[in-house]
C-alpha cells in the first residue's frame, strides 16, 4: 500500500512498512538536525522526568527509562496497570503537536514522552491498545537524539518488521496496527547516548 502524506508535495510518498493488518509509515528528517537537537535539549531540561512504574506479572517494577505524561486536563490514562494524570502542555510540545496534527490530519489530546539514557534502556513488546485510546486515531511517534532500532511483531504469526528511528524522524502507526502488531524499542550495547521519544495519542471522550 502506498499512501500520500502531504497534499502539497507529490514526491512525499511514504510506504507502509507492514506487510498486512495495519499501516506504519516512516518519515525521516521531519525536523532537521539543528531543530531536533534544540528540541531535545529543551525537553530534557524543562520536563519533570520520572521513572515509570509498571505492573509485570503482578509485580511492581520501576524502570530506568524515564517518562512524562502530558495532555489535556481530563486525559487520565491507565497503562500497565497504573493510572496516570497528565502534566500540562508546554509551548514546545504544543508546537510539535500542531505540526504532527497537520501531517496526520487528526487531533491529539495526550502525549507520552520517554527518555532513554542509552542503549540499556528500551521498551518491551506491547501494543498501544488501552481502552481509553481512540481506536480510529493514528499514533504519531517523534524521535529525538540517538538512532534506535524499533521492531514490529505480528500477534498471531510472529512475522517481524524493523527499522531505525533517527533524530528528527516521525513514525505514524495507523489503525488497525495496534490490534494486530506488538512493537518494541530494542535494547543494544552499542548506543551510549540518550534519546527522547514523544508518542502523540488521542484519548476517547469518556464523559
Ligand atoms: O520509544 C519509542 O520509539 C517507542 C515508544 C512506545 O512504544 C510507546 O511510548 O508506547
Ligand atoms: Fe508503544
Among the atoms of ligand 1, which is closest to the Cα of residue 184?
Answer: 7
Q: Per residue of the chain (207 residues), what is the pLDDT tens digit? A: 444 455 444 445 689 999 999 999 999 999 999 999 999 999 999 999 999 988 888 888 899 999 999 999 989 888 777 888 899 999 999 999 999 999 999 999 999 999 999 999 999 999 999 889 998 999 999 999 999 999 999 999 999 999 999 999 999 999 999 999 999 999 999 999 999 999 999 999 765
Among the atoms of ligand 1, which is closest to the Cα of residue 195?
Answer: 1
Strands 139-145 and 169-174: antiparallel
Q: 21, 154 in Cβ contact below 8 A?
A: yes
Residue of 145, 126, 137, 158 whose CA lies nearest to 205: 137
How many angstroms is it from 14 CA to the middle of ligand 1?
Answer: 20
Which residue among 169, 197, 198 is best mutated to probe the pocket of ligand 1, counting the most ligand atoms within 8 A of its Cβ? 197
Among the atoms of ligand 1, which is closest to the Cα of residue 199?
Answer: 9
150 alpha carbon, closest ligand: 1
Query: What pLDDT does residue 206 have?
Result: 62
3-state secondary structure of 35: helix
Query: What pLDDT does residue 128 have?
Result: 94
Query: What pLDDT does residue 207 have?
Result: 55
List all residues 6 or more positions away from 166 whose beta carbon is below 8 Å from its beta carbon. 28, 29, 143, 147
All structural domains of the chain: 15-44+61-201 (2.60.120.590)
Residue listed under C-alpha cell 497537520: 102
Q: What is the pTM of this model?
A: 0.93
How many angstroms is it from 4 CA to the middle of ligand 2?
Answer: 24
148 alpha carbon, closest ligand: 1
Query: What pLDDT does residue 142 have?
Result: 98
How many angstroms is it from 8 CA to the middle of ligand 2?
Answer: 30
Amino acid at each position: 500500500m502506498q499512501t500520500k502524506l502531504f497534499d502539497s508535495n507529490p514526491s512525499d510518498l511514504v510506504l507502509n512498512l507492514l506487510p498486512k493488518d495495519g499501516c506504519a509509515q516512516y518519515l525521516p528528517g521531519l525536523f532537521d538536525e539543528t531543530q531536533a537537537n534544540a528540541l531535545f535539549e529543551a525537553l530534557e531540561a524543562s520536563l519533570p522526568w520520572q521513572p515509570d512504574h509498571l505492573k509485570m506479572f503482578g509485580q511492581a517494577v520501576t524502570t530506568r527509562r524515564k517518562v512524562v505524561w502530558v495532555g489535556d486536563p481530563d486525559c487520565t490514562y491507565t497503562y500497565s496497570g497504573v493510572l496516570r494524570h497528565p502534566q500540562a502542555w508546554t509551548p514546545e510540545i504544543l508546537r510539535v503537536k500542531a505540526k504532527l496534527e497537520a501531517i496526520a490530519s487528526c487531533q491529539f489530546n495526550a502525549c507520552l514522552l520517554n527518555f532513554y539514557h542509552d542503549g540499556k534502556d528500551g521498551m518491551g513488546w506491547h501494543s498501544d491498545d488501552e481502552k481509553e485510546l481512540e481506536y480510529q486515531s493514528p499514533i504519531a511517534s517523534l524521535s529525538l537524539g540517538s538512532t534506535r532500532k524499533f521492531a514490529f511483531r505480528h500477534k498471531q504469526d510472529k512475522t517481524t518488521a524493523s527499522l531505525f528511528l533517527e533524530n528528527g524522524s516521525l513514525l505514524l502507526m495507523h489503525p488497525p496496527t495496534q490490534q494486530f502488531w506488538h512493537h518494541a524499542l530494542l535494547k543494544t550495547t552499542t548506543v551510549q547516548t540518550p534519546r527522547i521519544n514523544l508518542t502523540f495519542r488521542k484519548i476517547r471522550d469518556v464523559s
